[in-house]
């Protein structure tokens, strides 16, 4: 079984676990340092993924939001980068817009990625050089268009003029809580782009960034660089992902 098929199988099994906790008042804890909530569903999914994926690929490193990080992954050739549930707040609130995000990195690049939304039965997948799919059918990011007719997925703080050279461009703004889902929606062509400017955890965007680029879009840091993964401190400098309007967005940013 290749890496992508392994991730697809693991993601669907994760969905089976998470669905059992959804709208079933799972136990919730607040993480330290203001990092938000974690539920027993996050932890159960993480345990199962770590057991299954590391058994299948014992030589791969492991980076997950819900596993204490160490230095061992730095000496491996390939790494799993995992968010057991991206959009935990949405999960707790009963929204369907949460996802499992599973990726494999090699030499700083993502080579396989899956974003799966169990409550929508939407499985986005990509392998490097093989294109991107939604439930097995090819997907493509949006082509270029005037930015004033574009709709971008982002948060209200992004609309602060301090981020933009000549004021906020007149795009339409909407929101989804899961970064992985935002990236998948851009890859699918349902939205023109997504923006996040804060330091971004690798597990939130690893899988989705590959799905966007394999769908013909662009996924860069906020300063326009190709993201590099498996960093000693696993964050990147924000993310801007879009279809054909990427150059317009980047030229408008301060």
Residue 42 shares a structural domain with residue 157: no
pLDDT at 25 over 90: no
Q: What CATH number is associated with residue 151?
A: 3.40.190.80
The residue count of the chain comes to 254
**CA–CA gap between residue 192 and residue 149 (Å, rounded):** 9
| Domain span holding position 15 | 3-138
87-109 tens-digit pLDDT: 999 999 999 999 999 999 999 99
Same domain, 17 and 92: yes
Number of structural domains found in the chain: 2
Give the model confidence (pLDDT) of 147-202 as tens digits.
999 999 999 999 999 999 999 999 999 999 999 999 999 999 999 999 999 999 99
* Helices within 122-221 (DSSP H only): 179-188, 202-214
For position 15, what pLDDT does the model report? Answer: 97
pLDDT above 80: residue 35: no
Q: Which of 84, 119, 138 is the last residue of a domain?
A: 138
Q: Which residues pair with 236 in a beta bridge?
A: 200
Q: Could you tell me the two tokens for 93?
A: 């609130």
Check whether residue 129 and residue 158 sit in a common domain: no
Residue that terminates a domain, selected from 87, 121, 138:
138
Same domain membership, residue 153 and residue 132: no
**75 with 39, same domain?**
yes
pLDDT band at 28 (very low <50, low <70, confident <90, very high): confident
**pLDDT for 121 beyond 80:** yes
Q: ∠137-120-135 over CA atoms, to 5°? A: 15
Helix or strand (DSSP H, E) at 38: strand 37-39
Count CB atoms within 10 A of the CB of residue 57. Answer: 17
**C-alpha angle 143-171-150 in degrees, rounded to nearest 5:** 20
Q: How confident is the model at residue 118 (pLDDT cuts 50, 70, 90)?
A: very high
Do the bridges between strand 235-236 and strand 109-117 make them parallel or antiparallel, or are there none, so unpaired?
unpaired
**Residue ranges in the chain assigned as alpha helix (H):** 3-21, 40-56, 88-93, 179-188, 202-214, 246-252
Q: 102, 120, 138 — which closes off a domain?
A: 138
């Amino acid at each position: 079984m290749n890496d992508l098929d392994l991730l697809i199988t693991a993601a669907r099994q994760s969905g089976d676990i998470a669905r059992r906790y959804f709208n079933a008042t799972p136990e919730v804890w607040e993480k330290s340092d203001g990092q938000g909530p974690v539920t027993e569903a996050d932890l159960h999914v993480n345990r199962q993924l770590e057991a299954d994926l590391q058994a299948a690929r014992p030589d791969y490193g492991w980076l997950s939001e819900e596993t204490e990080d160490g230095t061992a992954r730095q000496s491996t050739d390939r790494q799993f980068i995992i968010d057991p549930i991206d959009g935990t707040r949405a999960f707790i609130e009963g929204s369907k817009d949460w996802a499992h995000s599973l990726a494999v990195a090699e030499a700083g690049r993502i080579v396989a990625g899956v974003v799966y939304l169990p409550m929508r039965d939407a499985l986005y997948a990509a392998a490097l050089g093989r294109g991107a799919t939604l439930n097995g059918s090819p997907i493509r990011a949006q082509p270029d268009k005037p930015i004033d007719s574009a709709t971008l997925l982002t948060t209200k703080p992004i609309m602060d003029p301090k981020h933009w050279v000549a004021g906020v461009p007149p795009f339409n703004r909407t929101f989804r809580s899961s970064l992985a889902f935002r990236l998948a929606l851009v890859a699918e062509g349902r939205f023109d782009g997504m923006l996040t400017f804060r330091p971004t955890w690798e597990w939130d965007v690893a899988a989705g960034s590959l799905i966007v680029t394999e769908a013909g879009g662009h996924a860069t840091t906020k300063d326009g660089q190709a993201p590099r993964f498996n960093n000693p401190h696993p964050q990147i400098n924000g993310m801007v992902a879009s279809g054909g309007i990427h150059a317009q967005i980047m030229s408008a940013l301060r």
